Amino acid sequence: MRRYGLSFWVIVLWLLLSLLGQWLPLDAHQIELESILQGPGSSHWLGYDDLGRPVFDRLLAGSYTSCVVALTVVSLSLVIGTILGTMSAYLGGVFDLVITRIIDIFLAFPGILLAIALAGIMGPGIDNVVIALSVVGWVGFARLARAQTLSVKHRDHVIAAQVMGSRNSKIIFRHLIPLITTPLLVEATFGIASVVIAEAGLSFLGLGVQAPDASWGSMIRDGTRYMLVAPHLVLVPGLALMIVVLAVNLAGDRLRDWLDVKTNRVEERI
């Protein structure tokens, strides 16, 4: 944890602020007309927006939004994609052919464009954002789970379970999925960063969280109109988004290296 220790604490801080922001005496919707477009100062750390609302309070509210959406979408995508990918590789036949073709169809479209199309069809709102991103996100987990399952389905203990007459569901959930958990966890880590960016992008386009609720993407969108007179309206949520995504990606790299047994052995020998 020495090299990526800072990224770990950034993620912990992000999670804590997302949770504590719901309990702290903050009001992201409070309007103070005399403080419109006021910059950071002693009265309020991060200044006020174009409606006189405190940027710090709205930043915490946006942090909660990004955290909830990211964890929900990645959890749903991980579960659905892992089950479908593992079943596809293990059962084979027509089921494998159908799942593979569905994955190919989804991969033929850019994920963010497909999410935008789905969010546009279903309408704006955080629930629809979660659904749209989950529909797009499960494909990567399914493809990875299928590839990993193909490499472990012929191991001795799996064949022994088949010979003993174990049910397919038991073999999948007890003997196959535990073997492929490591790469899926690493993929989930990078998926959190992707979802945070995707949620901010959808909110920036007006397809995500709706006013008066806060989102880092909507804060950046509203602040672009006042870049010259109040740059903090874009810089604050933009830097928060960059720092969180960078920290999650670095943590994912560290997790991948830590779970890689071969890499650890080489480092120990060096």
Find the CATH number of the domain harbouring 70: 1.10.3720.10
Cα 33 to its chain centre, rounded Å, is 36
Q: Is residue 224 part of a domain?
A: yes
Neighbours of 56 (CB within 10 A): 18
Q: Is residue 31 part of a domain?
A: no
Q: Is residue 73 part of a domain?
A: yes
What is the residue-level pLDDT of the chain in tens, covering all 270 positions? 445 478 888 999 999 988 887 777 777 788 888 888 888 877 778 888 888 888 988 999 899 999 999 999 999 999 999 999 999 999 888 999 999 999 999 888 888 888 888 888 888 888 889 999 999 999 999 999 999 999 888 888 888 888 888 888 888 898 899 889 989 999 999 999 999 999 999 999 888 888 788 899 999 999 999 888 889 999 999 999 999 999 999 988 888 888 765 544 434 444
Q: Is residue 239 part of a domain?
A: yes
Cα 39 to its chain centre, rounded Å, is 31
Q: Is residue 6 part of a domain?
A: no
Domain residue limits at 198: 11-21+43-263
Q: How far apart are CA 231 and CA 235, in angstroms?
A: 6
Query: pTM of the entire structure?
Result: 0.87
Q: How far apart are CA 20 and CA 23, in angstroms?
A: 5
| Measured CA distances, 71 to 14, 15, 52, 114 (Å) | 12, 10, 31, 20
Q: Is residue 54 part of a domain?
A: yes
Q: Is residue 1 part of a domain?
A: no
Q: Is residue 27 part of a domain?
A: no
